[in-house]
């Protein structure tokens, strides 16, 4: 006779040790499903539920994104893309600050909230406040029928599927994707095109899930580094442009999961203060923009790597395949597939998620249920 | 016979051990001098050099503040006040990010740069970019005849006197003061008043130097705490509303001067991630808003203190005189004189400067010349 042991939790985790690991691997699907059905038979972009007349959307003269935590970093990424595509000014505000500071908004302001659960109390209060002030509200949300989408004028659901791990991963990628879809929708509505067309960018977005899949297949070395670094006291993260919020997100994941003092900076800030922290052995992740980036940004970040390495930092560099300029100054190079600069965050964040997951595991911590944190923050 | 030993450096430091300590004590003058001569015989506000026609200033529909490091925190503080007073939307951008991200600005945008030296390369490049895009530019600067004011359409000098210590203190207070003067000037021009009149607020600002003086007389306990905490590995800083940039500035000072991992957060973010870092003994400074603050902000921050203390944090609370609500949850209460909520940053930052100064001294570090940092960052 033999015993059958059946672990319901393991089954739920689809063979992975933790929900977070499972959810990291579901990211290609989260992005693909969030893109699914976003174009009609004529190739026009469509939103899920839109109760704002098209003329009112065309009249929008400012976008304010309200969110908290990881969702606010998705908003920061989206700001770069949406401003670029629509030429509308986009502000990103922490929902709990927005609510309490007499924001200047009116009927021509589109307030976009981002919340995985749709129940984040700070974000809900910000949406209600925006409505009182006459703004149009769009909810980007992962949970059908939750409070924030119900109270908003329009909804764009992220189709990431249920996210169980407290630290957000696939919902983050889906939030960026949905924000991009919204940006492209507004671009089409406004009949403007700045650089590439909305259709071209959508086509490139469709190719992202395969690139994430490919990237996930190359994470062995990141896992190894995380195990080596299990006793790190602090880790810094640098990025510029869309890489700046990714640096912030990489740091937040490490705080949440490994209780390590981690901080993300705009690389340009380094010389204005934080470089004082660099001492021999200090690990620093650097999110390098594509060599195709405009304004010579790539070269500027390569200089930043050089500067911190000259002061003894251990540089962990996330760079595009084929970017050889970073090699002389990198202790480790983590490669991501090539893509256009504005879509790169959907790739560059992945190694940072995997790093935080394995460093937390190496420290013997509970990856899915970090101390002090709740999945949805339903109180103010 | 006796020898006369004369130490030129000590004389320059006016009896203080370091330039930073001297400059901290010069803050009442820095604020008073920056306010001096800002009103004409009729009581109207005046700027130093203004080559923007008044009609164009009245037509401004958006303000963008560009700055780096500490100056960007002055900008964040100013955002709360200027939006409130003028009802113009104000964005604050790191100059090195602004320059490279295709900002949406035009002839009705007022771009306000803040730089102590007037030579900060990133900020200069941002100003030039703004001018190319047709924006009006105002420089808030501490150095007469430097490049940024020379290239700007208008200048509002901060009269803080030369700042020698690398870590900015009196220039920061003067920057906030000058930004407030600019905000009040625009408020008067626009003929609007939201709440109190510009004259009333100016009058209250005039009283701030005495309050800083009074506060500086009560810093013995802060010095003592800094010495006790000389071996701290990390210190966190929390604030809301105008206290949020002050928390960021408190953290930056500690990074710059004591090479300690310090991070400032919007207190509302705590539950969205950073609270995972709180473990028994973790020191956390909390900048508490005045009990007179609107929207029940004071009570919300008191709850935040309660939450982190329940998880073992050592709470160092900066609170107004007479605020008894914080006492049960504070390991230390550092008192600041009463003032209206928007002016409080000119006081609450002072104990954080004094703390960083003495912690750096206690560690035997060079307060005036922290490692890796230059006073003016004249390269990109």
- The answer to whether residue A297 neighbours chain B at the CB level (below 8 Å) is yes
Predicted TM-score (pTM) of the model is: 0.94
Residue B289 has pLDDT above 70, yes or no: yes
Over residues B63-90, the pLDDT tens digits come to: 999 999 999 999 999 999 999 999 999 9
> Number of C-alpha atoms within 13 angstroms, CB side, residue B197?
7
Over residues B291-331, the pLDDT tens digits come to: 989 888 999 999 999 999 999 999 999 999 999 999 999 99
Instruction: For residue A79, give the nearest of A64, A69, A94 by alpha carbon.
Output: A64
CB spacing of B276 vs A259 below 8 angstroms: yes
Over residues B144-179, the pLDDT tens digits come to: 999 999 999 999 999 999 999 999 999 999 999 999
Both ends of chain B: CA-CA distance in Å?
55
CB spacing of B240 vs A88 below 8 angstroms: no
CB spacing of A240 vs B95 below 8 angstroms: no
B-chain CB neighbours of A255 within 8 Å are 273-274, 276-277
Distance from CA of B52 to the nearest CA of A (A): 24
CB atoms within 10 A of CB B231: 9
pLDDT at B174: 98
Q: Rounded distance, CA B113 to CA B254, Å?
A: 25
Q: Which of A94, A234, A244 lies at the smallest CB-CB distance from B266?
A: A94
pLDDT at B45: 77
CB spacing of B266 vs A96 below 8 angstroms: yes
- The answer to whether residue B371 neighbours chain A at the CB level (below 8 Å) is yes
- The answer to whether residue B12 neighbours chain A at the CB level (below 8 Å) is no
- Interface ipTM: 0.93
- The answer to whether residue B257 neighbours chain A at the CB level (below 8 Å) is yes
Instruction: For residue A63, give the nearest of A101, A100, A105, A2 by alpha carbon.
Output: A105
Q: Which of B266, B300, B372 lies at the smallest CB-CB distance from A276?
A: B372
B91: phi > 0 → left, psi -120 to 50 → alpha, else beta; which? beta
Q: Rounded distance, CA A297 to CA A288, Å?
A: 9
Could you state, in chain order, the average pLDDT of each consecutive group of 10 residues for chain A (380 residues)?
A: 53 88 97 91 75 90 96 98 93 93 91 96 96 96 96 95 94 98 91 77 95 98 96 95 97 94 94 89 96 91 95 97 96 97 97 97 93 81
Q: Rounded distance, CA A134 to CA A56, Å?
A: 12
Over residues B25-35, the pLDDT tens digits come to: 999 999 999 99
Burial class (CB in 10 A: 0-12, 13-18, 19+), B191: exposed
Q: Which residues, at least 6 apart from B124, have a Cβ–Cβ distance to it below 8 Å?
A: B115, B147, B148, B151
CB spacing of B269 vs A244 below 8 angstroms: no
């Amino acid at each position: 006779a033999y015993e059958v042991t059946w672990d319901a939790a393991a089954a739920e985790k689809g063979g992975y040790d933790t929900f977070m690991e499972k959810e990291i691997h579901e990211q290609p699907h989260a992005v693909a499903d969030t893109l699914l059905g976003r174009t009609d038979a004529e190739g026009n972009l469509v939103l899920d539920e839109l109760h704002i007349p098209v003329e009112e959307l065309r009249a929008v003269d400012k976008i304010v994104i309200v969110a908290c935590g990881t969702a606010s970093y998705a908003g920061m990424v989206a700001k770069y893309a949406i401003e670029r595509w629509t030429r509308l000014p986009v502000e990103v505000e922490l929902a709990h600050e927005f609510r309490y500071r007499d924001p200047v908004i009116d009927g021509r302001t589109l307030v976009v909230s981002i919340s995985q659960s749709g129940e984040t109390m700070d974000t809900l209060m910000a949406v209600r406040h925006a409505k009182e002030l006459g703004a149009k509200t769009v909810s980007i949300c992962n949970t059908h029928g939750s409070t924030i989408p119900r109270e908003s004028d329009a909804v764009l659901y992220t189709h990431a599927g249920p996210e169980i791990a407290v630290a957000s991963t696939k919902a983050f990628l889906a939030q960026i994707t949905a924000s991009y879809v919204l940006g492209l929708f507004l671009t089409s509505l406004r009949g403007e095109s700045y650089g590439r067309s909305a259709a071209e960018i959508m086509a490139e977005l469709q190719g992202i899930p395969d690139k994430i899949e490919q990237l996930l297949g190359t994470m062995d070395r990141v896992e190894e580094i995380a195990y080596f670094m299990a006793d790190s006291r602090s880790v810094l993260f640098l990025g510029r442009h869309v890489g700046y919020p990714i640096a912030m997100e990489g740091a937040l994941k490490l705080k949440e999961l490994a209780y390590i003092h981690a901080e993300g900076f705009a690389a340009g800030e380094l010389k204005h203060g934080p470089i004082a922290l660099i001492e021999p052995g200090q690990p620093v992740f650097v999110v390098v923009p594509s060599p195709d980036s405009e304004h010579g940004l790539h070269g500027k970040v390569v200089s930043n790597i050089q500067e911190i390495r000259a002061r003894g930092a251990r540089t962990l560099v996330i760079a595009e395949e084929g970017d050889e300029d970073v090699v002389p100054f990198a202790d480790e190079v983590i490669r991501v597939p090539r893509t256009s600069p504005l879509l790169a965050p959907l790739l560059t964040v992945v190694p940072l998620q995997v790093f935080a997951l394995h460093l937390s595991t190496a420290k013997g911590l509970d990856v899915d249920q970090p101390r002090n944190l709740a999945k949805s923050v339903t109180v103010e």
